[in-house]
């Protein structure tokens, strides 16, 4: 790995750590403010793997992004959306 790739990988790991520490920030909040969410990161992860000839399922990518199976994260941390939103 070259220096740029090593640094980018470290930044991505730090982003995942930050999102893990901020489970209070919901995906809808990220989408509304930044135009992407944890699920987007998982989709980008799958696409980047495919570009390199690697097979990675969306669920596998979400587990890497969320740090646990998505359904577990959803039960533990996803808040109910108020009526009239979404």
Q: How many other C-beta atoms lie within 10 A of the C-beta of residue 37?
A: 20
We report the CATH number of the domain holding residue 64 as 1.10.3340.10
Does residue 42 form part of some domain? yes
Say how far apart CA 41 and CA 28 lie, in whole Å: 14
Tokens encoding 60: 């596998």
Cβ atoms within 10 Å, residue 12: 14
The number of distinct structural domains making up the chain is 1
Does 7 fall in a domain?
yes
Q: In this structure, is residue 34 part of a structural domain?
A: yes
Q: Express each pLDDT in 20-68 by its tens digit.
A: 999 999 999 999 999 999 999 999 999 999 999 999 999 999 999 999 9
pTM here is: 0.86
Is residue 16 in a domain?
yes
- Please say whether the beta carbons of 64 and 15 come within 8 A: no
Name the residue range of residue 42's domain: 3-77
């Amino acid at each position: 790995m070259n220096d740029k790739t090593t640094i980018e990988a470290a930044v991505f790991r730090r982003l995942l750590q930050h999102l893990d520490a901020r489970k209070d920030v919901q995906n809808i909040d990220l989408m509304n403010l930044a135009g992407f969410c944890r699920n987007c990161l998982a989709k980008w992860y799958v696409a980047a793997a495919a570009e390199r000839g690697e097979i990675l399922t969306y669920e596998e990518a979400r587990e890497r992004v969320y740090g646990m199976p998505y359904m577990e994260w959803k039960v533990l941390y996803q808040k109910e959306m108020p009526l009239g939103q979404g």
